[in-house]
Every structure is written in C-alpha cells, then in structure tokens.
Structure 1
Amino acid sequence: MADAFDPDEMIERFQRRAAAVKSRPIPPVEGSERAKFVEQASVDYFDYAVIGDAVAKLEDGILTLTIDLRPPQS
C-alpha cells in the first residue's frame, strides 16, 4: 500500500474537506439540534484544516505529518 499512497493527495483531500465543511449550509433545524450541527461543523473544520495544513513525509512506510500549531508571527 505504501507504494500507491501519495501523502500530498491525502493532504489535498483534507483541504477540500475543510473547504466543504466551511461552505456547508446549515440545514433547516432549530434549537439544540442547530447548535449541535454548528458545533460539529466547527470541530470537523478544525480537524480537516489542521491536517490540510500539514507537511507530509513518507519514508520506509512511515507517514509523518508535521503540523505547526504556533500562532502566526506578527
């Protein structure tokens, strides 16, 4: 599997997922169900965006994702 796996393609898929979550419309639900949907969308976006910002390296069948979580420099 490692020979067919392209980590950059994986990163691109996560970037597309993050964009899809961000542009996903809120369904016509109200109250606590709406709040749950919005919260889950926020968590999904964060997770996909973090992996979408990763730098991937595949060496000897080991995938390493480097993710810089430091705040941006001013």
Structure 2
Amino acid sequence: MLSTAPDAPTDVSAMTATDLPANLVSTLPGQYYTDPAIFWLEQTRVFESVRFCPVRSSERHIGEFHDWVTQRLAD
C-alpha cells in the first residue's frame, strides 16, 4: 500500500488555513469534500487505521459483549 496519495497535500494545516476570523469560518472549502487525494487520505489515515462503531446493537443481532460486525464504509 502506498503511504501517500500522488497529489496529497503534505501539510495538513494548509487544509484549515484561512484569513477569516474564527467566527466567520463555517466549514472547509469545497475542494476538501471532492478532491480524490483528500478522500484517499481520509480512507487510509482514518477509516483503515481506527475502529469505529458503525451500528447500534439494537440494529443487528450482537449476542455477547465483545462481539463485532464488519462494515464497509465509504467505498
């Protein structure tokens, strides 16, 4: 597996850098929601490296404590 996407930004602080005061910044610029390199970074650094709880126990049959269910996120 590659450790970085070909065009991925290397300075994550650049993603949130802005000249606006904090009370006027509501979200990241649109490119961070649509850029394939950012998507790749999220997939490899967040979703593939950290365990999440994607379902409630009431939504699927989970019998005992420490039972688990495998889900695919953001295919």
Provide TM-score, normalisation by structure 1: 0.31
Higher relative contact order (CA 8 A, sep 6+): 1
Provide TM-score, normalisation by structure 2: 0.31
Greater fraction strand: 1
Which one has the largest radius of gyration?
2
